[in-house]
Structure 1
């Protein structure tokens, strides 16, 4: 299996993308992270879905997580009102966020090479280098793990033990 076989289109966001838009992309598509493009529209960075969630949670709650226990559902609604004012750019500028440079892999890279390079780069998403600029394709960590398991003879999803 090669990168070209695992490649899928993913949404690409920019610094101006709001926290609401970024969160909606992750929630609706089950994404492990977001691809971020530079001003020219070229994918340059990756942030994990958990870091996008970090953008949504007020900083004072991250500083003292025990405060979160005092909010009921009604009070929590007030916490989310600020989301329209936050952007992916805020996330990129946050020192506590791991912004990873996008890993580019050749379209003919093997599964073993893809897996090793993604682990080495500690990334969940890699750009397939030869994909068209206007419609880039990416290899995701879940696709790589699924292909590794299939190669290992795993028959697929099982029901949870009772």
Structure 2
């Protein structure tokens, strides 16, 4: 089994995507992260959902978690208001957010190779270099682990 066998499409968003839209997309589709494309549409970065959430929270809350309990119901609305006018490009350019370059793996890479490359890069998403496809396709860590477990189960 190769990377191309378990690859599939993912939502790719542009740097100009409003941050609120990105948060809604993550919530609606239960995404682990977002693939961000440059203006030419080429996937260039991956940001995890936890880092998008970190970007949404005011720094003082992360510095002192006990303050988070003091915000109450109004705090939820404050988060939304704080994100208005911000884009994924702003998030990518923020030094507090861990943004990873898109890992590219060959279409014929085996499952173990893809796993090793993903762990080495510290990413949950890899772009599969497959010139035979018109749209970009990706291997996700859950998809990779599902394929590995499926292989183990098939041998039992």
What is the TM-score of this pair, normalised by structure 1?
A: 0.86
Report the secondary structure of 2:24's partner residue: helix
| Residues 47 and 99 in structure 2, CA contact (< 8 A), matched pair in contact too | yes
| Residues 20 and 80 in structure 2, CA contact (< 8 A), matched pair in contact too | no
Give the corresponding residue for 1:86: 86
Relative to structure 1, the CA distance from residue 132 to residue 55 in structure 2 (aligned partners, 3 Å threshold; closer, same or farther) is farther
Q: CA deviation at 1:37?
A: 0.9
1:35 partnered with 2:35 = yes
The one-character-per-residue Cα deviations of 1:66-110 (angstroms, maximum 9, x if unpaired) are 211101123432332122222111211221221111111111111
Q: How many residues in Structure 1 have an aligned counterpart in Structure 2?
A: 154
Q: CA deviation at 1:134?
A: 5.3
Structure 1: state its 5+ residue gaps: 155-162
Structure 2: state its 5+ residue gaps: none
In angstroms, what is the RMSD of aligned CA positions? Answer: 1.8
Report the secondary structure of 1:9's partner residue: coil
Give the corresponding residue for 2:95: 95
Relative to structure 1, the CA distance from residue 152 to residue 19 in structure 2 (aligned partners, 3 Å threshold; closer, same or farther) is same
2: CA distance, partners of 1:12 / 1:153: 32
Report the secondary structure of 2:153's partner residue: coil
Mean Cα deviation higher: 60-69 or 141-150: 60-69
Relative to structure 1, the CA distance from residue 96 to residue 132 in structure 2 (aligned partners, 3 Å threshold; closer, same or farther) is farther
1: CA distance, partners of 2:30 / 2:69: 27
